[in-house]
Amino acid sequence: MWESMNKLTLTKWLAPLCLVGFMAGCSDDDDDNNDVINDDNRQALQSLLDQKRIEGNVPGITLAIHQGGDILTVTSGQANTETGELFTPETRVKVGSITKTFTSIVVLQLIEEGKLSFDDTLDMYLPNRLENYNPEQQTIRKMLQHTSLICNFTDVPPFNWAADAQTDPEMIWAPDELINEVEPFFSEQCAEENTWLYSNTNYVILGEIIEFITGNSYEVEITHRIIDRLGLTNTIVPNNFQDIDHLHSRGYLNGTENIKNGKPEQTWTQTELEPLIDVSAVNQSFTWSSGSVLSTPTDIARWVDAVGSGDMLSEEMQAEYQTTVNTTVAGGGIYFYGLGVMNVPMWDAWGHGGGHPGFDCGLWHISTHDVGIAVCENRTLSSHMRSDNFIVHEILDILFPEEDYPPMPDDADASVAPKSSLGYKYY
């Protein structure tokens, strides 16, 4: 189990009673001295979200804080700028690569059940595929941990989601088509001399393996093993990817002029203040088992609680899950990656980030304080810089003013990490 996460185990039972905003009567009287679920914090967080939304040209932001059996939800702004519909705690968003936490847990459960092994290799399940990547050496563990060095299909040409958003946003991708995008390339072209490469391709492959092993669709396995089990009533895994726009808020992109002008890398101000374009129609099939889940901060905060409290895995497998490697973000030492989970030591946090065209989300459990934080916004910067992590740092300052939580490196300098690095591009 993650350190200091035992207090959150009541969340999945009490959460439905405390869903709307701040509600008294849901707190643990034995933990009053460390309670972050209070009206002062709610007001401060509301002011922060309102400020960030206006300053950053973000239509809407939604936040959930979990501690013990208590839930605090704060929303700011609009889910739909055309109709004026406001964000509520029940408004779903595309949580992007937080989907990987669902995929990895199911893979680890299959290993526990003896249906898979960490040492099983890619060629056992996708024969005659990805020959340029030595498939006989690509193990389940490497794909879970992003050490396979298989190229990321959202980074290689000619794949361009920003262009597709304007030309053929409703295109439906088959998983094999996503894998085909990286077939012509080699690890050396994508990872250069690095030993770690964040790649959506790994998790699409794992989704195909889940289906091969179980004989069920990816959607059925995630729904049965996780969503139904935990009662995540606002969480959906799309199955046919058709006519699903009504299931989530609208999502927006700005900074597209930079792409057209051949200047994808801009400063925060240059991209944030450009006009918003509705990219809600971009089909989630282009990320499938690496990033297609729809959910709310309240649901995913309950999810991180269940994972952290050891409800989903045995103690031995939980230890494997949290065995991390250093990543290449900002020169290393910022993010560490386990088997589908991120660790940020400077925040004492475990979780994952996620983005999808029009949406950015961050999901973190702060181990020291046994508090879960989930925050999402319905805006993406075309430069792929992550603004939700910028918000998380200031949320921590409000919740734990006695602590000294440093900002993410890109808070001060957005050029610290390349756009394809973990934490700055999840698509």
* 304-331 tens-digit pLDDT: 988 988 889 999 999 999 999 998 776 6
Can you give the pLDDT at residue 418? 34
Q: How many domains does the chain have?
A: 1
More confident residue, 267 or 11: 267
Can you give the pLDDT at residue 171? 81
Say if 419 falls within a structural domain: no
Say if 129 falls within a structural domain: yes
Say if 417 falls within a structural domain: no
* CATH at residue 386: 3.40.710.10
Say if 426 falls within a structural domain: no
Can you give the pLDDT at residue 259? 42
Query: How many Cα neighbours within 13 Å face the side chain of 333?
Result: 4
- The 3-state DSSP class for residue 356 equals strand
pTM for the complete prediction?
0.86
Cα torsion 281, 284, 285, 291 to 10°: value is 160
Can you give the pLDDT at residue 167? 72
Mean pLDDT calculated for residue range 72-82: 97
Say if 123 falls within a structural domain: yes
Rama region for 370: left / alpha / beta (φ>0; ψ in -120 to 50; rest): left
Rounded to the nearest integer, the mean pLDDT of the chain is 82
350 in Cβ contact with 336 (< 8 Å): no
- The region of weakest confidence among 85-99, 115-129, 167-181 is 167-181
Give pLDDT tens digits for 117-172.
999 999 999 999 999 999 999 999 999 999 999 999 988 877 665 566 557 777 88
Q: Identify the band that residue 1 occupies on the pLDDT scale cut at 50, 70 and 90.
A: low
Say if 344 falls within a structural domain: yes
Sign of the alpha-carbon torsion through 207, 213, 218, 224: negative
How far does the chain reach from its first CA to its final CA, in angstroms?
29
pLDDT at 362 over 60: yes
Q: Identify the band that residue 383 occupies on the pLDDT scale cut at 50, 70 and 90.
A: low
pLDDT at 74 over 70: yes
Rounded to an integer, what distance in angstroms lies between the CA atom of residue 106 and that of residue 100? 10
Strands 379-381 and 252-254: parallel
Buried b / exposed e across 233-263, counting CB within 10 Å, b at 16+?
ebbbbbeebeeeeeebbbbbbbbbebbeeee
Say if 1 falls within a structural domain: no
53 in Cβ contact with 60 (< 8 Å): yes
Instruction: List the domain range (segments joined by +) for residue 268.
Output: 6-412
